[in-house]
Amino acid sequence: MGLGTVVVNFSVNNNNTFSQTPLLHRFPHFSFMATHFNVSQTQQFAPIGNHDLLIVGPGVLGRLVAHQWRQQEYPGCQVFGQTITTHHHEELLQMGITPSLNWTKSLHKFPYVIFCAPPYQSSDYLGDIRQAALCWNGEGSFLYTSSSAPYDCNDNGLCDEDTPVVPIGRSPRTDVLLKAENIVLETGGSVVRLSGLYKEGKGAHAYFLEKGIVESRPDHVLNLIHYEDAAFLSVAILKKQFRGRIFLGCDNHPLSRQEIMDLVNKSGKFDKKFDKFTGTDDPLGKRLNNSKTRQEIGWEPKYSSFAHFIENL
Ligand SMILES: NC(=O)c1ccc[n+]([C@@H]2O[C@H](COP(=O)([O-])OP(=O)(O)OC[C@H]3O[C@@H](n4cnc5c(N)ncnc54)[C@H](OP(=O)(O)O)[C@@H]3O)[C@@H](O)[C@H]2O)c1
């Protein structure tokens, strides 16, 4: 494949050096003309290499995957980011991720593709998944970061990789995830069903803390995985080049909503105090265990539990 060309809209100013853009990694002699205006630049990149990665949805998780992929696994490889708007393109460029709105509609194909965009921002999420599948050249891996939500359990019972999922048609939320998974699996890609993602300032605990009083029942069990651990797991799965497999990402320490917020309140590490949960009859949750995934992938989380994360804040 020859040099690719893509038009990227972004805003630059005289202070930006773009010293970390992928373009400059590959073409150190190339420089951008600095301007105070929003400009449309024609950006070139090197031929797609054996370890180059396309991230559809380079948000919180996708950026951690990018970092791990290029810093730890394949230094010098190119990482591309497909987004839904141009809002974060400048940030992505500065992180060394070549952004685009259009690659999934182009002829470029990549050996590694991870789809880690959430369903709520797109009017045609399944179409976006299909386009991402078309961008995979069938070599390395294609991975979709789904959710553990479809496991059919709402009595705080035990669940693992083999627990049946809810039937399609029960709820629009799980339908979109299951249909997306099916598209990925049919094309030979794999799926990792992630539990609730969190990090400092983001996730269920941050949401509850911000609200103070939440109209949900306190004894509903939640399952968590730190964003960094989800990124390490995703990278480990990508590297193993599976075909048509489903994995589960969780920390194996399910906690009720109340237990999570008790840990937050007792830690003394947050400015705010959580008040209370007021729900009584909404559905319960599930207790996830991913021992099979851990054994097969050879992965263990760095944050073994939410309590461990809080201790290390
Ligand atoms: N949050 C959780 O607790 C949780 C639980 C289970 C699974 N997951 C899954 O984990 C993955 C990562 O979540 P996250 O929190 O890292 O996501 P995030 O930060 O919200 O991701 C946002 C990024 O995705 C881009 N994007 C959104 N829709 C897109 C689309 N249809 N096509 C291309 N790009 C799109 C956005 O583009 P712009 O820059 O243009 O806005 C932005 O770059 C998602 O697949 C999510 O469904 C999350």
Q: What is the pTM of this model?
A: 0.90
Say whether pLDDT at 144 is over 50: yes
Ligand 1 mean position, distance from CA 280 (Å): 31
Atom 27 of ligand 1 has which residue's CA nearest to it? 117
The ligand 1 atom at the shortest distance from the C-alpha of residue 86 is 40
- At residue 21, the pLDDT reads 38
The ligand 1 atom at the shortest distance from the C-alpha of residue 197 is 3
Distance CA 111, CA 143 (A): 11
- At residue 308, the pLDDT reads 98
Residue 100 CB–ligand 1 contact under 6 Å: no
Residue 117 CB–ligand 1 contact under 6 Å: yes
Say whether pLDDT at 50 is over 50: yes
- At residue 12, the pLDDT reads 34
Distance CA 96, CA 62 (A): 13
Domains identified in the chain and CATH numbers? 53-197+225-252+291-302 (3.40.50.720)
Residue 279 CB–ligand 1 contact under 6 Å: no
DSSP 216-250: S-TT-EE-EEEHHHHHHHHHHHHHHT-SS-EEEE-
The ligand 1 atom at the shortest distance from the C-alpha of residue 85 is 40
Residue 180 CB–ligand 1 contact under 6 Å: no
Best mutation site among 98, 116, 222, 225 for ligand 1 pocket (most ligand atoms within 8 Å of CB): 116
Residue 122 CB–ligand 1 contact under 6 Å: yes
Q: What share of the chain is helix, strand, coil (3-state, %, to 5)?
A: 35, 25, 40
CB atoms within 10 A of CB 142: 29
- At residue 11, the pLDDT reads 36
Residue 196 CB–ligand 1 contact under 6 Å: yes
Q: Predicted confidence band at 17 (pLDDT cuts at 50, 70, 90)?
A: very low
Atom 22 of ligand 1 has which residue's CA nearest to it? 59
Distance CA 72, CA 55 (A): 17
Diameter of the chain measured on Cα atoms: 64
Atom 45 of ligand 1 has which residue's CA nearest to it? 116
In the three-class reduction of DSSP (H, G, I as helix; E, B as strand; rest coil), residue 170 is classed as coil
Q: What is the pLDDT of residues 191-206, one digit of tens each?
A: 999 999 999 999 999 9
For 170, how many CA atoms within 13 A lie in the half-sphere containing its CB? 11
Residue 145 CB–ligand 1 contact under 6 Å: yes
- At residue 104, the pLDDT reads 60
For 120, how many CA atoms within 13 A lie in the half-sphere containing its CB? 1
- At residue 46, the pLDDT reads 87
